[in-house]
Amino acid sequence: MPDALDSWAAKVLAGDRLAMSRAISAVEDREPEGRELVKRLFPKTGRAFVVGVTGAPGAGKSTLVEKLAKEYRAAGRTVGICAVDPTSPFTGGAVLGDRIRMQQLATDDGVYIRSMATRGHLGGLAAAAHDVATILDAAGFEIVLLETVGVGQDEVEIARLADATVLLLVPGMGDDVQTFKAGVMEIADIFVVNKADRPGADRVVQEVAAMLSISARPDGRQTPILKTVATTGEGAAALRDELEKFRASAAAGPLGLGRKREQWRARLIELLRERLFEKVVGERLRDGEIDARLEDILAHRTDPYTIVEALIDGPL
Ligand SMILES: Nc1nc2c(ncn2[C@@H]2O[C@H](COP(=O)(O)OP(=O)(O)OP(=O)(O)O)[C@@H](O)[C@H]2O)c(=O)[nH]1
Ligand SMILES: [Mg+2]
């Protein structure tokens, strides 16, 4: 007999907005029913093209995402948008700004927009974003745009789950192109130099090109570098074209499959880490346990390795 979760899942699959919003809240809060829902939706997913849009705070991600969504709408595609904001939960001015900016899109039935904050839960951002992508995919959105702020681990995590990752740079970042290099530049499938109406855009393009020339991608593909003015929409059509080109090439070959395999491997390991940690914490760590153990370490009575081993392997 179908249970409440089955009918909830059926509503998500039918594109019911309220059911989707509740589903996203559930995975955002890492609630068990969110997991149960994802289990039911998963077999119906795998069709959406998930695009991660990432870059420094204020680079113009939301503005560009909105324009890109319009381009996809003009091409008849439905678009689900999720703006992940790890830094300013709930009250973030950026989130409010996004809402206002995207109001025009919000009246379009072929678009769904959601902002998400991580609320400091275990596993956090990437884990929830992954499930949100699954929900939007299940609800039938053909294109899923994930906006994420940050300059490090977050980008890498989003890149792991996206089918294509767009990295935004802006003129006037100075040495930032240098700092981006470590670990983040490699995740870009497409570079976008936004705010190209400002001086210095060409220099950024040259810097990125120079950097790319010394570190070729393992797949030998030339990473495109585009210029955009997100506020006017200039370059958004070209970005969509590049994304579609990338999609066609990546999906066609074994490279795309290899990427998926690695993404799911990383996802599985991440989930294992999350669940094992929850299990150990739930079963073995009593309130105050950590502090009690800390006393042993601070007094140099017991080393931290022994304590961890005792917590994991020792008697309950
Ligand atoms: N001159 C100019 N301003 C832009 C351009 N794109 C965005 N902006 C402005 O830059 C500011 C930040 O834009 P957002 O789209 O909110 O940037 P964001 O990267 O989403 O910001 P966060 O989500 O807060 O990290 C806004 O005032 C935009 O109007 C552009 O191409 N040129
Ligand atoms: Mg934004």
Q: Return the sign of the alpha-carbon dihedral for residues 288, 291, 293, 296.
A: negative
Cβ of 231 less than 6 Å from ligand 1: yes
Full-model pTM: 0.86
Q: How far apart are the C-alpha atoms of 95 and 89, rounded to whole Å?
A: 9
Cβ of 63 less than 6 Å from ligand 1: yes
Closest CA to 34 of 44, 20, 47: 20
Q: Please give the pLDDT value at position 36.
A: 96
Q: Please give the pLDDT value at position 289.
A: 82
Write down all domains in the chain, each with its CATH number in brackets: 45-253 (3.40.50.300), 269-313 (no CATH)
Cβ of 57 less than 6 Å from ligand 1: yes
Strand partners, 81: 113, 145
Q: Please give the pLDDT value at position 89.
A: 43
CA 229–ligand 1 middle distance (angstroms):
10
Q: Please give the pLDDT value at position 257.
A: 72
CA 40–ligand 1 middle distance (angstroms):
38
Q: How far apart are the C-alpha atoms of 131 and 245, rounded to whole Å?
A: 26
In a 3-state reduction of DSSP, which class is residue 118? coil
Token pair in block for residue 307: 């304590």
User: What residue ranges of the chain have pLDDT lower than 50?
Assistant: 88-94, 120-123
Q: Please give the pLDDT value at position 194.
A: 97
Task: Read off the pLDDT of residues 74-98 as tens digits, 9 standing for 90 and up.
Answer: 999 999 999 876 554 444 444 555 5
Task: Read off the pLDDT of residues 156-198 as tens digits, 9 standing for 90 and up.
Answer: 677 678 899 999 999 986 555 655 655 677 788 999 999 999 9
Q: Which residues contact 298 (CB under 8 A, 6 or more apart)?
A: none
Q: How far apart are the C-alpha atoms of 138 and 23, rounded to whole Å?
A: 11
Cβ of 97 less than 6 Å from ligand 1: yes
